[in-house]
Amino acid sequence: MAQLIHLKSFTDARGSLNVIQDQLPFAVKRVYYMYGVPPNTQRGGHKHKKSRQALICLSGSCTIYNHDGVSETQFVLDNPAKILIVEPSDWHIMYDFSENATLLVLASTKYDVHDYIDTPYPNSSLPT
């Protein structure tokens, strides 16, 4: 089941600093990010066999729809101090990207096309 982690922010007159150290339940093997996502575009739409992921919206905002096979949840990532941990069994789509959104993803595995399960859950409440 996906879980939201809130990082401690260190803020003063120079700005804010967030540290990701010992908060992730996995070692990071791959880092990638999405930006310039056109309006009304969805990303994702899959789950994984092995890979765990940490999603962080560094700027702007986006929404993550998640279905773990039992329940569905929507998470709004609108602060870089929020990290959404997505488990392999969590089918997820990213959508509603703001104009200036940058979504950073930290993954527990290197890219493997065979790790992706693209069959969506039959569910009428998926965002469109």
Q: Confirm whether 46 is a catalytic residue.
A: yes
Please list the residues that pair with 11 across neighbouring strands.
16
- Closest among 75, 78, 106 to 1, alpha carbons compared: 75
- Residues 6 or more apart whose CB falls under 8 angstroms from that of 25 comprise 52, 85
How far apart, in Å, are the Cα atoms of 107 and each of 10, 42, 73, 79? Answer: 25, 19, 21, 20
Out of 6, 46, 67, 92, which one is annotated catalytic?
46
The span from the CA of 128 to the CA of 108, in Å, is 29
State the catalytic residues: 46
